[in-house]
Amino acid sequence: MTGTEKTQGGELTERDFAAVIFDMDGTLIDSTPAVVRSWTIWAGELGIPLERLEEFHGVPAESTVAELLPPQLRKAALDRINELELTDLDGVRPLPGATESFRMLPADRIAIATSCTAPLAAARLKVSGLEPPAVLVTVDDVARGKPAPDPYLKAAALLGQPATDCLVVEDAVKGLRSARDAGCATLAVVTTSPRDALTADLVVDNLSRVLWVTDPATGRIRVQPN
């Protein structure tokens, strides 16, 4: 199988876009080992089977905690996972093609929309060495996190562009749902989910498999297989 594959919708490489919005963890940054360590400790302390966590990939910690625990335990449990994740940043690094993508794209045409809190997003970006874009939407900035469309709608609004004219790059099934429901086109990377689980306009192995081309006259962006 090649590193790029169209899965649905119009031919993505024939379109151009006003802006590109990236998910963070699993798309730009490899934080999986740290995430697994933190949530394994958390689940063990609370007696929650690890397999229960799999369905919450790509959603905010607060939503996960709310689904798994009764109200009287949620605040302490959320504080605990936030503490664990903020103190374990070992191995956090850019994924292939992430740094190059940021270099290729105009700074005023990109954003990040993440399920992380603002402190955790800042910490992981700093350790990874990726320069945060001017538009960085975290779970703290929206009423509803992924899989609701709010994060991508907010990012598009802050970029001053219609969501329907934005391309979202995601690794998670629920993140892709968020993007689609916002009206965005979707590019999926196969970094944390099986390829056949990802419904997107284009699926690639990782960001090293695409090139970004910006029209110097209009600032509009195309994505091409690399």
Which residues in 148-197 belong to E strands, given as ranges? 166-170, 185-189
**Backbone torsions φ then ψ of 165, nearest 5 degrees:** -110, 15
Per-residue tokens: 171 = 């690794």
Give yes or no for a contact between 184 and 156, defined as CB atoms under 8 angstroms apart: yes
Asked if 23 is an active-site residue, the reply is: yes
- Is residue 181 among the annotated active site residues? no
State whether the Cα torsion 23-29-30-36 is positive or negative.
negative
* Cβ–Cβ < 8 Å for 112, 121: yes
Q: What whole-number distance in Å separates Cα of residue 172 and Cα of residue 201? A: 14
Nearest to 155 by CA among 6, 4, 18: 18
The active-site residue out of 16, 25, 90, 108 is 25
User: Which of these is catalytic: 23, 171, 201, 205?
Assistant: 23
Q: Give the list of residues 6+ apart from residue 24 with CB closer than 8 angstroms, or none.
A: 112, 113, 114, 116, 121, 124, 125
Q: Which residues are catalytic?
A: 23, 25
